[in-house]
Structures are given as structure tokens and as C-alpha cells.
């Protein structure tokens, strides 16, 4: 059975190959190891193999892990954020929040962000497939939400995030990734250079090479690194 370190090395090789195929620098893609429901020992093993970016979905689980693991880990919150948990996120040293999907959530986080802390880096989550079971702002409302987040002052929009509708054929996700990249480009046309959105958080274990080909700068990979998740 392969170890976490071996699986990480395999994923990194796949990232490098996908970047080469797309004429991109491998350093332009950040691999986020999705560690929700994984034990601290598994995260520590990935850390020992050089992994520094980890993604968590639940606030209390993330806080417990953060307290037990090295301080130089870059934590990404990638799960749906309940409004009552927003103050915890606002006051944290989170590297990036990937799931802002409403002005009310953005305002709640901004109001609780300490004045002596830098603006919190966030992604706008977009519901590409208009799925009722998924969070995310509708494509037609995304531009307006970005403008509203800009006005909060205490948040900084890094880019857009999406989870395409599930399809057993990864290639079928390509047009969704393309759609998100096109939306980002359209938003950037109306923004000054210093405020352009530079990141696309898209692609997971099954389809990240396709996401990289379509412009992903952050990919979220869990099962392919850690294996099946433990029951919560």
C-alpha cells in the first residue's frame, strides 16, 4: 500500500505534467490537501513530505487541528460557512476562505475582522450548475457580489471558486472550468490592474489535470492523497 508521501509525490508529478502540457509553470498551481475527517497523524505525515497547504470544511475540526500542528501550515477553509461561525473565521489567521457566496456573509465577516489584521483573502463561490443542493452565488449575480465584497474594506477577493456538478467522466467538467475562467476574465475587464482576480480555485482528485489546463491556480485534492475519509 502506498504511503501518503508516495501519493503526494504522484499528485505533484501529475500537476507538473498537466502544467507542462498547458505551457504553464508548475509553481503557478497550489495543491491544497483536503484533510477534513483525516487524523492529525495523517496531516503530519503530509507535512513531513513537504505539504503546507491544507483545506478544512468544519470550523471546530479545523481549530483543533490548527492547535496541534505546526504554525507555518497555510489553512484554507473550503466548506460551507454557517453565519454563526463567521466571527471565528474573521478573527483567525486563515490563509484563505474559499466559500463566500453572499453579501450578508461577507459583511458579517468584515465587521468582525480585527482592524490590526490584514484584509482576509477570500474566494467567491460560484454555483456553476445551478444545483439546489450546493452553495454558491449564481453566475448572473457574481459580478454584483464581487463589487459588494470590495466595499467591505476588510476582505480581499483573490478569485473565484467552484465545484462543478458531479460527472463520472472528468472530461465533462471541462466546460464548467472554462466557464469559470471566462467569468473571471469578464470581471477583470472592469477592474484596475491592482484589483484583478488572479486565482481560480477549481479541480479535485478526479479532474484536476483538466482544471489546470483551463486555468486553475488552486486545486483541492483529498482522497487521492489521504485515501478514504474516516467517519466524522
127 inside domain: yes
Angstrom distance (rounded) from CA 188 to CA 181: 11
Angstrom distance (rounded) from CA 150 to CA 145: 9
Q: What phi, psi does 158 have (nearest 5°)?
A: -85, -35
pLDDT for the residue 166: 87
Angstrom distance (rounded) from CA 61 to CA 112: 21
Measured N-to-C along each axis, helices 139-150 and 103-112 cross at an angle, to the nearest 10 degrees, of: 20
pTM equals: 0.95
pLDDT for the residue 212: 98
Question: In CATH, what number is assigned to the domain containing residue 52?
Answer: 3.20.20.10
DSSP state of 137: B
pLDDT for the residue 130: 80
Each residue's pLDDT expressed in tens, for the chain with a length of 232 residues: 589 999 999 999 999 999 999 999 999 999 999 999 999 999 999 999 999 999 999 999 999 999 999 999 999 999 999 889 999 999 998 999 999 999 999 999 999 999 999 999 999 999 987 877 788 999 999 999 999 999 998 999 999 999 998 889 999 999 999 999 999 999 999 898 988 999 999 999 999 999 999 999 999 999 999 987 665 5
78 inside domain: yes
Counting the structural domains of the chain, the total is 1
52 inside domain: yes
Cβ-count burial 83-119 (b if 16+ within 10 Å, e if not): eebbebbbebebbbbbbbbbbebbbbbbeebeeeeee
231 inside domain: no
The parent domain of residue 208 ranges over: 4-226
Distances (CA, A) of 81 to 116, 128, 211: 23, 19, 24
User: Do 89 and 97 contact (CB within 8 A), yes or no?
Assistant: yes
232 inside domain: no
Amino acid at each position: 500500500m502506498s504511503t501518503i508521501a508516495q501519493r503526494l509525490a504522484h499528485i505533484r508529478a501529475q500537476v507538473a505534467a498537466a502544467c507542462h502540457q498547458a505551457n504553464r509553470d508548475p509553481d503557478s498551481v497550489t495543491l491544497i490537501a483536503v484533510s477534513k475527517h483525516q487524523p492529525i497523524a495523517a496531516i503530519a505525515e503530509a507535512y513531513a513530505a513537504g505539504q503546507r497547504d491544507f483545506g478544512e470544511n468544519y470550523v471546530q475540526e479545523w481549530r483543533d487541528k490548527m492547535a496541534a500542528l505546526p504554525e507555518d501550515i497555510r489553512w484554507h477553509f473550503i466548506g460551507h460557512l454557517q453565519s454563526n461561525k463567521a466571527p471565528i473565521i474573521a478573527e483567525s489567521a486563515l490563509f484563505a476562505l474559499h466559500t463566500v457566496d453572499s453579501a450578508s456573509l461577507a459583511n458579517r465577516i468584515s465587521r468582525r475582522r480585527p482592524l490590526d489584521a490584514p484584509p482576509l483573502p477570500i474566494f467567491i463561490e460560484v454555483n456553476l450548475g445551478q444545483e439546489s443542493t450546493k452553495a454558491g452565488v449564481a453566475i448572473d449575480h457574481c459580478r454584483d457580489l464581487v463589487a459588494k465584497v470590495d466595499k467591505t474594506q476588510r476582505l480581499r477577493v483573490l478569485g473565484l471558486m467552484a465545484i462543478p456538478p458531479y460527472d463520472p467522466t472528468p472530461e465533462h467538467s471541462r466546460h464548467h472550468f472554462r466557464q469559470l475562467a471566462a467569468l473571471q476574465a469578464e470581471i477583470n475587464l472592469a477592474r484596475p490592474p491592482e484589483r484583478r482576480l488572479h486565482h481560480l480555485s477549481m479541480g479535485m482528485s478526479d479532474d484536476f489535470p483538466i482544471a489546470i489546463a483551463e486555468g486553475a491556480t488552486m486545486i483541492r485534492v483529498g482522497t487521492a492523497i489521504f485515501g478514504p475519509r474516516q467517519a466524522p
